[in-house]
């Protein structure tokens, strides 16, 4: 059951070596199949047994709250944001429709947190704190400030009622965030030990936030399961990405033509970059959103270096949205849009932009969604995780580690300690 279709536009202009692509597809398929038998997150994504627990805790947690502070970095946050955006989070015109405000603290900035805390109503604010290891510096820093503020405003007794933590169980060394939860009786959900942050969106890390927004978790998981059962489009995408990368088109653009997928593209950038960029190898991810990036990036894509493989994610929006009223302007140059809708323009633009690029012999993959709902987003999330894993198999890199970032973490510790002297 494919919830979307995918095709290469104007393949006759690309001089494709189909024999090579077929070999890559075969290798990618075998590698992905092996990982499906090994990696826990495939089973977790398809397992429905955790849905009731997640939904019950989410309902209890958000009751009476006007504001929720989400504290987590990278994979602990980006997937949740992508799911929340399906419900309208971060989209123009949707803020007043939400029953609560959610504030994603996923970056450190000297002014942002202090500015936020000045505006929050302490008695009706709660926090969701997520860190797999419980030792992520940014999360520790943000959580320490937030919890001190909450204790000052509500007292220690309020922590158990207004906060939830997702983190791993203790190991040989104690998990600091879990210790804090135990000290203040804060509800804890176990972060699955076999699932890394950037692959955690279909576990409680992402699904708890989806539940807060009332999204259908069963549908999300069913969409993911549809890709697990039929991963052919993901295998093909991985093979094409590596094939075009070998031809010098090693920058992968994902161009979504819906506001509700803007944060999905940000999630993809981390997933692709952190999973594939190793041992001197990798394919650079670039996030674009349409139609706006027709006015900011399209010139480069069309007339700059021919080093891009561009994937469009589209939907037929014909007839959707407000009707246009061009007769309010003088003259007749916009008569051709009279009686059309906003959706008509977007539908025409996404195909026109993709075709223009393809006409320049730039490789373009055109993904068309039937509808953007929970099931489709669950499928898209699983599709890109499968595509990433399959591409890593082709590049002979480990998709699940990130060894190169350890030096900067160690230097950060040294520089902070030096400041204290």
Tell me the CATH number at 120.
3.40.50.10490
Domain boundary among 157, 191, 217: 217
Residue 417 lies in a domain: no
Query: Where do the DSSP E strands lie in 168-300?
Result: 188-190, 251-256, 284-289
Examine the domain organization and report whether 190 and 120 are in the same domain. yes
Examine the domain organization and report whether 27 and 92 are in the same domain. no
pLDDT of 94: 81
Contacts of 243 (CB under 8 A, 6+ apart): 17, 20, 21, 24
pLDDT of 40: 87
Examine the domain organization and report whether 272 and 234 are in the same domain. yes
Reference 192, options 163, 169, 212; nearest CA is: 169
As a whole-number percent, the residues of the chain with pLDDT over 70 amount to 99
3-state SS, residue 218: helix
Q: Which two tokens stand for residue 134?
A: 């419980």
Q: What's the domain range around 192?
A: 41-217
Examine the domain organization and report whether 314 and 396 are in the same domain. yes
Distance CA 8, CA 363 (A): 7
Average pLDDT over residues 362-383: 98
What is the band of 402 on the pLDDT scale with cuts at 50, 70, 90? confident
Domain boundary among 217, 245, 274: 217
Distance CA 244, CA 309 (A): 7
Residue 420 lies in a domain: no
Residue 410 lies in a domain: no
Exposed e or buried b per residue across 272-287, where buried means at least 16 C-beta atoms within 10 angstroms of its C-beta: bbbbbbbeeebbbbbb
Distance CA 35, CA 389 (A): 8
Tens-digit pLDDT profile for residues 221-271: 999 999 999 999 999 999 999 999 999 999 999 999 999 999 999 999 999
**Average pLDDT taken over every residue of the chain:** 94
Average pLDDT over residues 409-419: 84
Examine the domain organization and report whether 225 and 290 are in the same domain. yes
Q: Does 2 or 16 have the greater pLDDT score? A: 16
Residue 414 lies in a domain: no
Domain boundary among 175, 198, 217: 217
Examine the domain organization and report whether 235 and 356 are in the same domain. yes
Examine the domain organization and report whether 196 and 224 are in the same domain. no
Long-range contacts from 228-233, C-beta under 8 angstroms, 24+ separation: 228/36, 228/42, 228/45, 228/46, 228/382, 228/386, 229/1, 230/1, 230/2, 231/29, 231/32, 231/383, 231/386, 231/390, 233/2, 233/4, 233/6, 233/383
Residue 373 lies in a domain: yes
Q: Show the CA angle centred on residue 266, arms to residues 202 and 298, nearest 5°.
A: 140
Average pLDDT over residues 12-24: 97
DSSP class of 90: T
pLDDT of 73: 93
Task: Give how many domains the chain has, as a whole number.
Answer: 2
3-state SS, residue 4: strand
Cβ neighbours around 270 below 10 Å, total: 17
DSSP3 helix / strand / coil % (the chain, rounded to 5): 55, 15, 30
As a whole-number percent, the residues of the chain with pLDDT over 90 amount to 84
Average pLDDT over residues 60-88: 96
Whether 408 has a pLDDT exceeding 90, the answer reads no
Q: For the chain, how far is it from start to end, CA to CA, in angstroms?
A: 62
Tens-digit pLDDT profile for residues 387-397: 999 999 999 99
Distance CA 260, CA 265 (A): 10
CA distances to 155, 163, 359, 387 from 159, rounded to whole Å, are 8, 6, 59, 40
Whether 195 has a pLDDT exceeding 60, the answer reads yes
Reference 293, options 373, 360, 354; nearest CA is: 354
Examine the domain organization and report whether 238 and 345 are in the same domain. yes
Whether 297 has a pLDDT exceeding 60, the answer reads yes
Average pLDDT over residues 35-59: 94
Examine the domain organization and report whether 298 and 320 are in the same domain. yes
Examine the domain organization and report whether 308 and 342 are in the same domain. yes
Whether 399 has a pLDDT exceeding 70, the answer reads yes
Query: Where do the DSSP E strands lie in 290-330?
Result: 308-315
Examine the domain organization and report whether 68 and 183 are in the same domain. yes
Q: Identify whether the C-beta of residue 390 lies closer than 8 Å to the C-beta of residue 275.
A: no
Residue 207 lies in a domain: yes
Average pLDDT over residues 76-100: 91
Cβ neighbours around 68 below 10 Å, total: 22
Examine the domain organization and report whether 228 and 180 are in the same domain. no
Q: Which two tokens stand for residue 345?
A: 């323009």
Give strand pairing partners of 236: none
Residue 79 lies in a domain: yes
């Amino acid at each position: 059951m494919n919830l979307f279709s995918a095709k290469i536009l104007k393949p006759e202009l690309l001089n494709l070596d189909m024999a090579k692509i077929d070999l890559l597809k075969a290798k990618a398929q075998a590698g992905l199949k092996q990982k499906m038998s090994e990696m826990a997150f495939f089973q977790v994504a398809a397992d429905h047994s955790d849905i009731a627990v997640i939904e019950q805790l989410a309902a209890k947690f958000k009751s009476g709250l006007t504001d929720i502070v989400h504290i987590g970095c990278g994979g602990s946050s980006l997937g949740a944001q992508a799911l929340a955006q399906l419900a309208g989070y971060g989209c123009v015109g949707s803020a007043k429709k939400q029953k609560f405000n959610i504030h994603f603290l996923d970056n450190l900035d000297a002014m942002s947190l202090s500015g936020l805390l000045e505006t929050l109503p302490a008695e009706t604010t709660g926090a969701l704190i997520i860190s797999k290891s419980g030792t992520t510096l940014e999360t520790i820093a943000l959580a320490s400030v937030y919890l001190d503020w909450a204790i000052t405003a509500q007292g220690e007794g309020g922590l158990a009622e207004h906060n939830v933590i997702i983190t791993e169980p203790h190991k040989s060394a104690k998990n600091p965030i879990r210790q804090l939860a135990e000290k203040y009786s804060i509800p804890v959900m176990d972060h699955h030990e076999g699932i890394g942050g950037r692959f955690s969106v279909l576990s409680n890390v992402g699904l708890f936030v989806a539940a807060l927004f009332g999204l259908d978790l069963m549908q999300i998981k069913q969409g993911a399961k549809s890709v697990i059962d039929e991963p052919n489009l993901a295998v093909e995408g991985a093979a094409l990405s590596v094939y075009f990368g070998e031809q010098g088109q090693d920058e992968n653009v994902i161009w979504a033509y819906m506001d509700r997928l803007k944060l999905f593209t940000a999630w993809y950038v981390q997933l692709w970059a952190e999973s594939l960029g190793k041992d001197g190898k990798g394919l650079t991810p670039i996030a674009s959103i349409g139609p706006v990036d027709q006015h900011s990036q399209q010139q480069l894509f069309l007339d700059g270096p021919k080093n891009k493989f561009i994937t469009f994610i589209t939907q037929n929006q014909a007839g959707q949205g407000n009707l246009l009223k061009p007769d309010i302007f003088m003259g007749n140059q916009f008569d051709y849009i009279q009686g059309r809708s906003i959706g008509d323009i977007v539908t025409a633009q996404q195909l026109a932009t993709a075709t223009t690029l393809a006409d320049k012999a730039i490789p373009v993959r055109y993904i068309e969604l039937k509808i953007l709902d929970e099931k489709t987003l669950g499928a898209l999330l699983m599709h890109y995780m499968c595509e990433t894993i399959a591409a890593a198999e082709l590049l002979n890199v480990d998709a699940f580690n990130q060894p190169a970032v350890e030096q900067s973490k160690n230097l950060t510790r040294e520089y902070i300690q030096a400041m204290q002297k």
